Structure 1
Amino acid sequence: MASFQSRSRGNEVFSPAVFNFDHIEPHVQTHLKNVYSCLSIGMLTAALGAYTHFYTGLGQWYLMTTLASLGLMAWLATTRHSKETTSTRMGIFTGFTFLSGISLGPLLEAVIRVDPSIISTALAGTAVVFISFTLASLLSRNRTFLYMGGFLMSGLMWLTLMGFLNIFFGSRMIFDMYIYGILALFSCFVLYDTQLIVEKRRRGDDDFIWQSVDLFLDAIQIFRALLIILTNKEDNKKRRRD
């Protein structure tokens, strides 16, 4: 009997109450739906951009497409959010995500040469990480993750410096530290950015398009890091066999 009661209590962890978002106001929930709908469109257009790369060779213009995507992001940031500009800003956003997908082309080509299945594994891994950390953030009833902002920005600065210096050192150990650091850092950014979006909406900021940019960048960086990590592991396995 005691064992049965213990099992029953343990199963409460998987009860629907765990996914209860009643602590999030209705207008915030509606806003989150807009954000994630916009993010979904961005992911689809990025996938289309990556697909386009393989048939047009635009990935050869990696620097230009990267600069163009940054230019569109800057344009989006400086375009005032209003009902009248929503369609224009959505066009800018999809252009930015499309070019971001094209910029992934050279990396995807390198991955395919090692093992094409790595792409689907990295996509699945990105989805698991992103969804898990998003739920953890949304289910939290306090604003704990908002205090991570300073730590995350400091970590990003140090990782950027590490990546830059490794251009000259060419150390495999530093590169591994850098890429695993990127994976961990942007996973934590999902926690932070999700709670920040909720808090911004509570304070009246309903710019769902710009807020989806933050989440899009988080997801892309996680995906990129997983691609590199999995490709390196597979490449090392093939070298050992040879």
Structure 2
Amino acid sequence: MVEAMIKSKAAALTVAERCRSILGANSQAHLNTIKVDSKGSKSEIHTSKVHYIFKRGKPYIWVHEGDLHNTNIIIDERGSFSVSNVVPGPLTGLLKSIRKLPACAALAGRRVSNRARSLWTMLEAPELRWAFIRKIYTILTVQLLMTVAVASVVVSVRPISHFFASTNAGLGLWIFLIILPFILLFPLHYYYQKHPVNLILLGLFTVTISFAVGLSCAFTSAKVILEAAILTAVVVLGLTLYTFWAAKRGHDFSFLGPFLFSAVMVMLVFSLIQVFFPLGKISVMIYGGLGAIVFSGYIVYDTDNLIKRYSYDEYVWASVALYLDIVNLFLSLLTLLRAANN
């Protein structure tokens, strides 16, 4: 820590400051610095999840022992300190509802000195966040183009779909391709910060999902596929623009998380019922419509997380989340339109 290291934590904080620090414990803080070489050129971004407390009305950063930032805790104009609520407590939500607590801590403009060390506490630099957002959408665009390419091959080359649909080996391979993305999530979680292993795993994950999309389209008319693709593009673009507009005006969509997760659980149970007890065309249309609504909500939720909560080293997870939202929205609309067309 910076200045409070001189005194014990208990002696340094007043009761009011302890209350504010308890409220701060409901938030997640990220300290970001950019390494520079002797020429001053930018290198990689180092991100730490840190805590912060208040002393005499000023915020102080508490860096974990052994963290890289302990050895060189200097933030210049290329660095930032951002705070966002992850799981807001009931008291935090109440105070925010009556506008007694800001949406995030405004830590800006005060320099805190401790002899040889200096530290700036500031809001996250907009340039860093926008660079991160551009990176995510670049990766997402590549994923979607890869999906279109793989799915097009599966649809246009008829022996591929015939192999999967009419042979036992094809059925076994299809089941393996359905399970493989879930298997790839484990190494992806372990290596998500290790470049380029994380991108290689992300590519494999995308290809396996693309095969599933291609097989879904292989037995669907071109008209239905085109309608689902156009609707998906319009919905994704509209919801993305809306979320950026709403976030700029201070709206928060983190409350959607529990509701969307519950809706996905309902969909999973519904799909299992459909496997063993088919309920007919109307139930399939209901399932597709419910899926389209749920994954539209997830696009808003994950875009809001991208804007406010994802740290710079979580670009793989942010890309996976948005990619799955878009793919599942497309497949839900495809299910709905295919059932209606039949």
TM-score band w.r.t. shorter chain: 0.7 to 0.9
Which shows bigger deviation, 162-171 or 40-49? 162-171
Does residue 42 (structure 1) correspond to residue 143 (structure 2)? The answer is: yes
Amino acid at match of 1:158: V
1:93, distance to aligned residue in structure 2 (A): 0.7
Does residue 191 (structure 1) correspond to residue 300 (structure 2)? The answer is: yes
Distance in 2 between the 1:24 and 1:186 partners?
30
Which shows bigger deviation, 127-136 or 223-232? 223-232
Greater RCO, 1 or 2 (C-alpha within 8 Å, sep 6+) = 1
Distance in 2 between the 1:36 and 1:86 partners?
18
Distance in 2 between the 1:24 and 1:168 partners?
53
Tell me which residue corresponds to 1:105: 214
Distance in 1 between the 2:125 and 2:215 partners?
41
1:120 to 204, 226, 249: 226
For residue 258 of structure 2, give the secondary structure of its aligned residue in structure 1: helix
1:31 to 132, 156, 179: 132
Structural RMSD (CA): 2.0
Larger-Rg structure: 2
1:80, distance to aligned residue in structure 2 (A): 4.1
Alignment TM-score, normalising by the size of structure 2 = 0.56
For residue 207 of structure 1, give the secondary structure of its aligned residue in structure 2: helix
2:201 to 89, 92, 96: 92
* Ranges in structure 2 where 5+ consecutive residues have no aligned partner: 1-123, 165-169
Distance in 2 between the 1:119 and 1:217 partners?
18
* 1:57-76 correspondence runs (5 A): 57=160, 59=164, 60=170, 61-76=173-188
1:153 to 254, 258, 261: 261
Tell me which residue corresponds to 2:326: 219
Distance in 2 between the 1:47 and 1:39 partners?
12
Distance in 2 between the 1:220 and 1:106 partners?
13
Q: Is the 8 A contact 2:177 2:208 kept in 1?
A: yes
Q: Is the 8 A contact 1:143 1:195 kept in 2?
A: no
Distance in 2 between the 1:220 and 1:47 partners?
11
For residue 250 of structure 2, give the secondary structure of its aligned residue in structure 1: coil
Instruction: Report the count of equivalent residues.
Output: 205
Which 4+ runs in 1 deviate beyond 3 A?
A: none
Q: Is the 8 A contact 1:49 1:99 kept in 2?
A: no
Distance in 1 between the 2:228 and 2:283 partners?
22
* Ranges in structure 1 where 5+ consecutive residues have no aligned partner: 1-22, 236-242
1:142, distance to aligned residue in structure 2 (A): 2.1
1:71, distance to aligned residue in structure 2 (A): 1.9
| Structure with greater strand percent | 2
